[in-house]
């Protein structure tokens, strides 16, 4: 960890709390610090948090540069449309619409955004651009971005000729362009929603990404 401050430390001996720690279904008596690490992604730590003496719980700290999301957008009939992918996410409610997003696999967030975009849609464009704002902390209760890292947003304009009418009445990325390479992520479709519908999906990153797109490109407001 590159944190200036150790944000999770061992719970002082004898301190009472309501947490139960299990490993492989077995209760670990008097556990005072738990850490799960993956050298590609980060650390999940549980123990005494730096929030205060009564704060005990977990924090997730990502390695590299955090996460990235890409806001695909186009203008059709004078209206702003946002491109979302349909992905199976059991942690939400199964199939879920969201912007293409994921973990950074390198310290260069822009390069990671290009990689995520190619993996989840098949689009390989160098012309993506970073949106304004600091790295987002998706949930300050459980995510640690105290070292300045967070979730960065990028955007890519999709030309209208790259989309076709979809079965649902929406607009979808042309089948010849939509070629996700990560089949293990169960990405099923890429469709474009009117911005006011896209901002209402369950995925919280999508709404933030759309807001930052408008903050970065105020000229798009005439298409709202």
97's CB contacts (< 8 A; 6+ apart) are 84, 85, 86, 191, 193, 198, 201, 202, 203, 206
Tokens encoding 2: 């590159």
**pLDDT in the model for residue 94:** 75
On the CB side of 147, CA atoms within 13 Å amount to 16
158's CB contacts (< 8 A; 6+ apart) are 72, 73, 74, 83, 173, 192
- Say which CATH topology domain 66-219 has: Nucleoside Triphosphate Pyrophosphohydrolase (3.90.79)
**pLDDT in the model for residue 174:** 83
- Contact status, residue 135 vs residue 149, Cβ threshold 8 Å: yes
* Euclidean distance between CA atoms 204 and 185, whole angstroms: 19
pLDDT tens for the chain, 224 residues: list them. Answer: 444 568 999 999 889 899 999 999 999 988 999 999 988 788 999 999 998 888 999 999 887 767 899 999 999 989 999 999 998 877 777 788 999 998 766 778 898 899 999 999 999 887 899 999 999 998 989 999 888 888 999 999 999 889 887 666 578 888 788 888 866 578 888 999 999 999 999 999 999 999 999 999 999 999 99
All CATH 3.90.79.10 domain ranges in the chain, comma separated: 66-219
DSSP string, 48-81: EETT-TT-EEEEEEESTTEEEEEEEEEEETTEEE
What are φ and ψ of residue 99, in 5° steps?
-70, 155
On the CB side of 25, CA atoms within 13 Å amount to 0
Residue owning tokens 């973990």: 103
């Amino acid at each position: 960890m590159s944190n200036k401050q150790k944000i999770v430390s061992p719970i002082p001996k004898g301190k009472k709390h309501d947490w139960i720690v299990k490993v492989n279904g077995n209760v670990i008596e008097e556990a005072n610090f738990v850490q799960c690490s993956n050298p590609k992604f980060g650390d999940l730590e549980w123990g005494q948090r730096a929030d205060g003496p009564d704060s005990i719980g977990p924090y997730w700290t990502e390695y590299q540069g955090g996460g990235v999301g890409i806001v695909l957008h186009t203008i059709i009939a004078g209206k702003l449309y946002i491109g979302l992918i349909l992905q199976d996410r059991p942690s939400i409610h199964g199939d879920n619409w969201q912007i293409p997003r994921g973990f950074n696999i390198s310290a260069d967030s822009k390069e990671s955004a290009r990689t995520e975009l190619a993996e989840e849609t098949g689009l390989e464009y160098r012309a993506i651009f970073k949106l304004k704002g600091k790295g987002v902390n998706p949930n300050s209760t459980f995510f640690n971005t105290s070292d300045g890292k967070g979730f960065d947003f990028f955007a890519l304009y999709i030309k209208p000729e790259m989309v076709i009418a979809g079965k649902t009445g929406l607009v979808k990325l042309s089948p010849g362009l939509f070629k996700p390479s990560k089949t293990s992520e169960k990405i099923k479709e890429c469709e474009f929603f009117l911005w006011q519908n896209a901002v209402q999906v369950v995925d919280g990153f999508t709404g933030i990404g759309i807001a930052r797109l408008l903050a970065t490109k105020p000229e798009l407001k005439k298409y709202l």
